[in-house]
Structure 1
C-alpha cells in the first residue's frame, strides 16, 4: 500500500474536524493508503513532523488553518525529496484553500486530497524562511496571530474585523526602501503585502485581477501613509469596496523584491508571526510545491492552461 501522513490541528476553526476523523481516514484507506495519523500538540509541531518524516511516504495531508498549511509547506521545503501535499481547510478564513478552489466541505476536501491532481504552485522565500501565500507588514497584519483562538472560533471572520477596527486610530507608519526589477520606491507606508493568492483576510480583488499560481511572480500591494483624516477615509473606503486606489497604493508584479528600513518592522507570514526585520529579501520559487486540487480547476490556476490540452492530446495519441 501507498503510505501517507495525516497531520491535523485539533484546535483549528470550531473543532469541526474531530468528529469526522474516522470518516476522513476511511476515505484515505479506500484510496489505497496506509495512514499515519498525527494531531499536532504545539506551535511548529507540524513543521517538525514533516521535516523528520522518513522516506517511503507518497503524500502528506494536513488539516487546520493557514498556519497549519504554512508549517507543513515550510517543513516540506526543507526536505530533499518533496512529495505532494493535500489540504483539508478547517481554519477561520482559509485564504489559500479558497484561492485554489479546495472544497470547504471537510469530506470533499479529504477526497480531493487523495483523488485529486497534483498542481505545481509557486512558493515564497522570505530571508531564511518560507511562506505559502502572503508575507505582509503594517496595518492589521498582527490581528490573525494576536486574536485568541477561542474568539476566532466563536466569531469567525468577524473576529479579525473587530480586532482590526480597534487599530484604525493608532496606525504605525514605516519608512521603507523597496527595490524590485531595477525600480526603487522610498516612502512611508502603513501596509505592504507580497502575495500569491486571490484573497487575503477573506477579501478578494484588492490584490489585482488575473492572479495565477504558477507564473513565478508575486502580486505586491503597498499602501502609503495617509497625510490626514480624509486620506485615511479614502484608503479605508477603497479596502471596503475592494478596489485599488492608485493615489494611495502601489501595485505591481515581481519575482524578487527587497525591503529596507531603519527600524525593525514586524512581519506576518501566512497569518503567523514572521519576526521583526530591517532587511527583507523575498524571492519566488516557481512551481516548487505540489498541492492536490480538483482536476477541473487546474486550468484556472495556471499561467498556460493550454499546456493541459496539449498534454491530454499527446496522451490520447499515445493510446
Structure 2
C-alpha cells in the first residue's frame, strides 16, 4: 500500500472539475491524511505539462481524472518521463464510456476510485507505442474508429455505451472497407478491413469487448482483424464470429504478437484511447511493464500478482 504521507496529484479534466462528488471525495481523503493536491486542465497539452511538473517535484502518484482521452494524455506524459522518475498512475473515471476503467475493474464512484488510486497496489503494466503516440488500452481502426469519433458527445453522455450501437446501425451499410496489409513477426494478412482492434486492454467503443484475452502485463498485443462483409448473411456470420473471436475464422482473425505493422494506399481511420488519427501506415509495439498502475489485485487484466 502507498503511504498517505507521499504526495499525490489529481490531474482532472476541466469539464469534470466542478462535480460535487469529486470535490467531496478529495476533501474526505485529505481529512483521512492523504496528501493530495489538484490540477485542472484547460486545453490540449496541459496534462503532459502537469505530469512533467509532478515528476520534477517528486510526486509519487499521478491520478488521471477524466475519460479515456484524459488517461491517454496522462500516460503519454508519464512515458515522456525517465523510467526511474515516473510516478505511479491512478485513475478517477469521469468519462462517458470509461472503457479502460471498466476493463481493469476500477470503481466508478469518485470516493472509492480515489481511495484505490491513492492506496492500491502498484502493478507494472505494458504501454503500446504507435509512432510518437502511446496508448494503454486499445487502438481501433476502420468501422470502429469511425463510430467512436463520429458519435456526438451529447449522445454519448445521454445513452452511454448504447450510443455507439445506435450510430453503428445507422452507418453500417454505408461503410467503405479499407484494403490493408497487416504484418507481424509470424505472418502477414492482406484483407479489406471492416474493423481492426489492437488491444493492450480489452474494450473500446463504449463497452465493446474486442480483445477478451488481453493482459496488461504479458508483453503481447491482442489483435482482432475483421474482414468486410457484403450481405446480410455475411454480417450474421461476422457477428457470430465476433462473439467467439476465433483464431482464424471466415471473417475474424485473432493474432497475439508483441508488434504489428499496417500499410494501405489510403488513409486509415484509427482511434487511440479516444484520440483520432488517419494514417496510411503505422507500426505498434509494446514497451513491457513501462509504468506502475494502481489497480485491483484481482483484475482480469493481470497475468501475474504484485
Query: Fold match, TM over 0.5?
Result: yes
* 1:113 to 1:284, Cα distance in 2 relative to 1, 3 A: same
- Decide whether the 8 Å contact of 2:22 with 2:111 is kept in 1: no
Aligned length: 296
What is aligned with 1:311? none
The 5-angstrom pairing of residues 270-285 of structure 1 reads 270-273=273-276, 275-285=277-287
Two-structure CA RMSD over aligned residues (Å): 2.1
- Residue in structure 2 matching 1:70, options 69, 72, 81: 72
CA distance in 2, matches of 1:31, 1:114: 12
Answering whether residue 237 of structure 2 is matched by residue 203 of structure 1, we say no
Answering whether residue 264 of structure 2 is matched by residue 261 of structure 1, we say yes
The answer for unaligned runs of 5 or more in structure 2 is: none
- Decide whether the 8 Å contact of 1:144 with 1:272 is kept in 2: no
Specify the SS of the correspondent of 1:140: helix
Measured after TM superposition, the shift of residue 281 of structure 1 is: 0.6
* 1:212 to 1:31, Cα distance in 2 relative to 1, 3 A: farther
CA distance in 2, matches of 1:208, 1:62: 24
The answer for unaligned runs of 5 or more in structure 1 is: 309-319
**TM-score normalised according to structure 2 size:** 0.89
What is aligned with 1:51? 52
Measured after TM superposition, the shift of residue 198 of structure 1 is: 2.9
**TM-score normalised according to structure 1 size:** 0.85
Answering whether residue 148 of structure 2 is matched by residue 138 of structure 1, we say no
What is aligned with 2:217? 214
CA distance in 2, matches of 1:115, 1:248: 44
Per-residue deviation, residues 290-319 of structure 1 (Å, max 9, x unmatched): 111134x25x443244xx5xxxxxxxxxxx
CA distance in 1, matches of 2:65, 2:239: 33
What is aligned with 1:149? 153
* 1:147 to 1:51, Cα distance in 2 relative to 1, 3 A: farther
- Residue in structure 2 matching 1:113, options 117, 120, 124: 117
Per-residue deviation, residues 213-258 of structure 1 (Å, max 9, x unmatched): 100001000001224332123223544xx32251101101000110
Specify the SS of the correspondent of 1:166: helix
Answering whether residue 303 of structure 2 is matched by residue 303 of structure 1, we say yes
The 5-angstrom pairing of residues 78-117 of structure 1 reads 78-80=80-82, 81-117=85-121
Q: Which deviates further from its counterpart, 182-191 or 27-36?
A: 27-36
* 1:203 to 1:136, Cα distance in 2 relative to 1, 3 A: closer
- Residue in structure 2 matching 1:293, options 292, 295, 300: 295
Measured after TM superposition, the shift of residue 116 of structure 1 is: 0.8
- Decide whether the 8 Å contact of 1:61 with 1:113 is kept in 2: yes
What is aligned with 2:27? 26
Measured after TM superposition, the shift of residue 92 of structure 1 is: 1.9
